[in-house]
Structure 1
């Protein structure tokens, strides 16, 4: 009996000794979550590597409100990159686009505005009318553009996002997550010129005309947090206050997303805290900028034999401040099934970044310029040159 009592006491002591440890671990997790205490969901990641620095309920499906326009902007920037859309091109505004409610730049049916100004209207003032006008220009209708948005969602391998419109206005079955919004923002930021729009605090449309319109950025952090240069706010009664923000400091760019904050003050405070955390704890080592030449592609049946292969995005490694970067290496793997012509922007290979044997990241490589098939004249000329050399 004494042995049983003694054993029971010992077990109680062991159990009591484990309690402070469990409480300590829980407290540590909670202190991390306190970075976004004013939000239902949040995430923080470094742009170049895509490495997650912090998250809170990051995969919870929630209405994204006007953060939807990050995808709208992404598809527009893709068209600009391809050359199928020009900044100085004018777009005629339809009655449907002009009738959009919510935040708007007060477009009139039949009015013509340049792509450049419509981009300002979307990126700075979150214009729903500008978003629909651009969607109709790119895809013919908003419905077709939404199909392209959801197709892009699949291309990015996102599982928790579905769009019903280009604007983020309330709609059934229109949802996303903090994680998915961060990945869409990461993709958008490949087009570095987008921050020429999203970083502007104020500007004008139709300047000097009777219907001049003052644009004021809905993201106040572009003015009040050094380094913030985008991206997109959002608000509806259901979504509450949302923000996908990006900032760059000392060559490191991070993305912070907050969803479901009760006030703009809580939203901005949560994002600011996450940005402080990132810049205080981490640093990046820049390996390549977007457009840097990585290797040369030699194709005997192309119009040009030698063609530059370039980085499709900024490529870096991420480290805790003070860590060594001496063991970082890179490796290029080219695709073997390339078929001419190869368009500018097409995926032709992969740059693999390693730390020893550990793969840190993989980034797509593309060609600097479109590679056309060699003409009959070019092929004949090369054949003759070979004959002359042979003789």
Structure 2
């Protein structure tokens, strides 16, 4: 081999080795260590927790409480028991509410839509109390509603005594519970959730900016809520979406408003840099069409009841192995929604997601002749 050919071969091997190295998955470093008391980073679609530090420790949630207040209000709107243009009479208690305010006046009739914006954008304690009293008759009764929804969502370390987030001995939540709440709010009320991205609101000639400064500093951020009391320090629940991947971060107990923003940025950037989320299967779409015996149809489309998402380290999607095990033989009658098998998704021989496989159609039994023929075929098989 001539020296020139040898040199070309060496260069080709070096370049090939470099390309192979570039195609390797990005190593996932340890998550950022923040100065806040507790924090969490979670993927919205898959629910996977990517960063967790004291996220189940009960803390004063401050005005992040108003996320649950809004959750209850949105449920009332969706059920038709409340409308956006419905007038709300302002009580003296609401008018006298301490802390952040929308500056509504006692005795006035204010539309629900304006009170919601005053609560979300201006973090108005007065607006929160007005909505609570209008829906439940009193703030304490409304707090009982809040606790019912918290239990429904599995927020086992949360208890509310008011609709505002003002301190109370039995008023507490956690970063993990707050992330679950934000996930549920976005999932159930996507149209109302858009209110959290509005940057300012004017009422009574007074314009107030949204306290969530992330809306100005990161174009992918579209919510959610800040909070502050002396006991809670500075808190921030954030949600952002980049290229179809939505993350939720919650920071509780930061020392300054600037730190809650910078710490939230660190969490989001870590998640987007080192992880990716994929939808593996769509709800109600066939993943297989296996043989069905003794039915009026010979095949049965099967799939999953809900979208199946998975969050994994970046560039490791090709390491996934999905397997479907059906309850064979499948025999009619089958009703849509019946469990007929199990989906198992693994990575490097570790199961990372499991879901039921269900029938996507209802198939009645065949007549006597058809059932008899299939019985014989099954016996022969």
CA positional deviation for 1:164: 1.0
The alignment status of 1:67 with 2:84, answered yes or no, reads no
Query: Do the aligned residues in 1 keep the contact of 2:284 with 2:306 (CA within 8 Å)?
Result: no
Task: Tell me which structure has the larger Cα radius of gyration.
Answer: 2
**Is the deviation greater in 260-269 or in 317-326?**
317-326
Residues 294 and 330 (structure 1), Cα distance of their counterparts in 2 relative to 1, 3 Å cut: farther
Counterpart position of 1:262: 255
Q: 1:201 is matched with which residue?
A: 199
Corresponding position: 1:246 with 2:239:
yes
Taking the TM superposition and a 5 Å limit, the aligned residue runs for 1:249-328 are 249-286=242-279, 316-324=309-317, 327=321
Tell me how far apart the structure 2 counterparts of residues 168 and 63 of structure 1 sit (CA, whole Å). 8
Contact 1:121 1:215 in 2 (8 A): no
- Return closer, same or farther for 1:122/1:286 CA change in 2, 3 Å cut-off: farther
Give 1:359 shift: 6.6
Structure 2: give runs of 5+ residues left out of the alignment.
1-27, 287-303, 326-336, 359-381
2:122 is equivalent to residue 125 of structure 1: yes
Residue 47 of structure 2 corresponds to residue 50 of structure 1: yes
Aligned mates of 1:349, 1:233 — CA distance in 2 = 44
After superposition, give the CA deviation of every residue in 1:289-327 in whole Å (9 maximum; x if it has no partner). Answer: 9xx8769xxxxxxxxxxxxxxx99976322322222674
**Which residue of structure 2 aligns with residue 355 of structure 1?**
345
Whether the 8 Å contact between 1:36 and 1:270 is mirrored in structure 2 is: no
- Cα drift, residue 276 of structure 1: 0.2
* Alignment root-mean-square deviation, CA: 3.1
Q: Could you report, residue by residue, the CA deviation over 1:5-57 in whole angstroms, capped at 9, with x for unpaired residues?
A: xxxxxxxxxxxxxxxxxxxxxxxx9x846x24220110000011111000111
* Counterpart position of 1:24: none
Question: Equivalents in 2 of 1:246, 1:92: separation in Å?
Answer: 33
Q: For residues 261 and 134 of structure 1, do their structure 2 counterparts lie closer, same or farther at Cα, with a shift above 3 Å needed?
A: same
Cα pair distance change 1:134/1:248, threshold 3 Å: same
Report the TM-score, using the length of structure 1 for normalisation.
Answer: 0.69
**Distance (Å, rounded) in 2 between the aligned partners of 1:84 and 1:353:** 40
> Corresponding residue for 1:220?
213
Structure 1 SS opposite 2:317: coil
| Local SS of the residue matching 1:189 | helix
How far did 1:358 drift?
4.4
In the aligned structure 1, how far is the partner of 2:354 from the partner of 2:225? 27
The residue that corresponds to 1:86 in the other structure is 83
Conservation of the 8 A alpha-carbon contact between 1:234 and 1:241: yes
Structure 1, unaligned runs of 5 or more: 1-28, 206-210, 296-310, 332-347, 366-391
User: Quick one: distance in 2 between partners of 1:240 and 1:78?
Assistant: 30
* 1:342 counterpart residue number: none
Q: Please tell me whether the aligned partners of residues 284 and 305 of structure 2 are also in contact (alpha carbons under 8 angstroms).
A: no
Cα distance, 1:288 vs structure 2: 7.9
Q: Residues 140-186 of structure 1: CA distance to partner in whole angstroms, max 9, x if unpaired?
A: 21111100111112212222111111100111221111111111111
Distance 1:78 1:353 in 2: 33
Structure 1 residue ranges, 4+ long, deviating more than 6 angstroms after superposition: 292-295, 311-314
Does 1:146 pair with 2:143?
yes
CA contact (8 A) 1:36 1:42 kept: no
Counterpart for residue 227 of structure 2: 234
Q: Residues 220, 361 of structure 1: CA spacing in aligned structure 2 closer, same or farther, 3 A cutoff?
A: farther
> Alpha-carbon deviation of 1:328?
5.1
> CA 1:155–1:237 in 2, change beyond 3 Å: closer, same or farther?
same
Q: CA–CA distance in 2 between the matches of 1:188 and 1:275?
A: 19
Cα distance 1:156–1:312, how it changes in 2: closer, same or farther (>3 A)?
A: farther
Task: Output one character per residue of 1:112-162: Cα deviation in whole Å (capped at 9) or x when no partner.
Answer: 222211111111111111111111122121111100111112212222111
Q: Structure 1 residues 314, 355: CA separation in 2 closer, same or farther (over 3 Å shift)?
A: closer
**Native 8 Å contact 2:345 2:354 kept in 1:** no
Q: 1:105 to 1:315 in 2, by over 3 A?
A: farther
In structure 2, what is the Cα distance between the partners aligned to 1:68 and 1:285? 31
The equivalences for 1:361-376 within 5 A come to none
> How far apart in 1 are the matches of 2:191 and 2:338?
24
Q: Distance in 2 between matches of 1:142 and 1:312?
A: 38
